[in-house]
């Protein structure tokens, strides 16, 4: 007589295992789950959101590091030249459960043996520990397992990119807003279907958006990271995306008219 287990139950009822359902949901909402809100906690002060970020795998090409994951953001978000102040920073991720977030202290998951990597001008990458050696068990496993974005782009050249920007809703929760990133002649714009933005001031306005370090993704069911959002250092603060150095996408498709 066959024993009753999960596989047998599914054979008779046609129900899929909960693990399969959860995995499918994680893939469906990958563009949300891989984005993090980056906050800093200074001595004697409260938490302050400093920008957006994401987890990327396969960014580093050295043999010993090629399978490692990194927190990637703008150097305006993580300006430190070393890991001395890393304990002041926290990453927050959305969960599948509504209104739930995961908070991770960056100093607890950063690989302190590794220095800060700057794969491209204006970009900062912090190498993270491998999940099987995390000192605090499985609580951060998701950060380096199902949340990371890949950079394998298969040679596609497309103008269909989305930028995932943290909306700083409250201290205990945040949203992730999607904007289309386009190139119009020699400038870049962000679009939300109703408005078009060319500069930091008009994009942020009176909103709670934190665009620095926001990940730029390909569209589709399995989004891939191609870069992060940054702005020029002059007074205009024009939109200035930073492409990953190993990206096979060399340019954003040029559109002549808006």
Query: Of the residues 150, 173, 204, which one is the last residue of a structural domain?
Result: 150
Q: Are residues 145 and 183 in the same domain?
A: no
CA separation for the pair 129, 111 (Å, rounded): 5
Three-state SS for 26-57 is HHHCHHHHCEEEEEEECCCCCEEEEEEEEEEE
Query: Based on the domain organization, do 230 and 125 belong to the same domain?
Result: no
Same-domain status, 141 and 26: yes
Q: Is 114 a member of any domain?
A: yes
Q: Same domain, yes or no, for 136 and 166?
A: no
Q: Which tens digit of pLDDT belongs to each residue from 194-233?
A: 899 999 999 999 899 999 999 999 988 889 999 999 999 9
Rg (CA), the chain: 19
Give the tens place of pLDDT for each residue, 13-70: 555 565 788 888 888 999 999 999 999 998 888 899 999 999 999 887 766 677 789 9
Among 131, 150, 169, give the residue marking a domain's end: 150
222 is in which domain, residue-wise? 161-243
Let me know whether 137 and 170 are in one domain. no
Closest CA to 60 of 108, 106, 125, 104: 125
Residues 168, 142 share a domain: no
The whole-model pTM stands at: 0.83
Instruction: Give which of 104, 77, 101, 80 is closest to 90, Cα–Cα.
Output: 104
Backbone angles phi, psi at 210, to 5 degrees: -125, 80
Tally the domains of the chain. 2
Average pLDDT on 116-131 reads: 84
């Amino acid at each position: 007589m066959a024993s009753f287990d999960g596989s047998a139950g599914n054979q008779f009822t046609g129900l899929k295992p909960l693990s399969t359902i959860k995995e499918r949901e994680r893939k469906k909402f990958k563009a949300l789950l891989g984005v993090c809100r980056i906050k800093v906690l200074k001595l004697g002060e409260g938490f302050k959101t400093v920008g957006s970020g994401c987890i990327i795998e396969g960014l580093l090409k050295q043999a010993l590091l090629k399978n490692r994951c990194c927190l990637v953001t703008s150097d305006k978000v993580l300006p430190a030249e070393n890991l001395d102040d890393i304990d002041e920073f926290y990453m927050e991720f959305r969960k599948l459960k509504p209104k739930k977030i995961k908070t991770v202290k960056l100093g607890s998951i950063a690989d302190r043996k590794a220095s800060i990597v700057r794969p491209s001008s204006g970009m900062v990458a912090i190498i993270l520990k491998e999940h099987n050696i995390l000192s605090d068990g499985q609580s951060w496993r998701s950060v380096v397992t199902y949340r990371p974005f890949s950079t394998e782009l298969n040679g596609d050249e497309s103008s269909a990119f989305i930028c995932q920007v943290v909306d700083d809703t409250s201290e205990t929760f945040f949203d992730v807003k999607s904007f289309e990133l386009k190139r119009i002649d020699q400038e870049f714009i962000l679009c939300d279907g109703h408005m078009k933005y060319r500069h930091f001031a008009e994009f942020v306005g009176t909103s709670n958006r934190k665009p620095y370090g926001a990940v730029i993704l390909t569209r589709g069911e399995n989004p891939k990271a191609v870069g992060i959002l940054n702005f020029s250092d002059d007074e205009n603060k024009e939109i200035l995306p930073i492409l990953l150095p190993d990206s096979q996408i060399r340019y954003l498709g040029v559109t002549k008219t808006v």
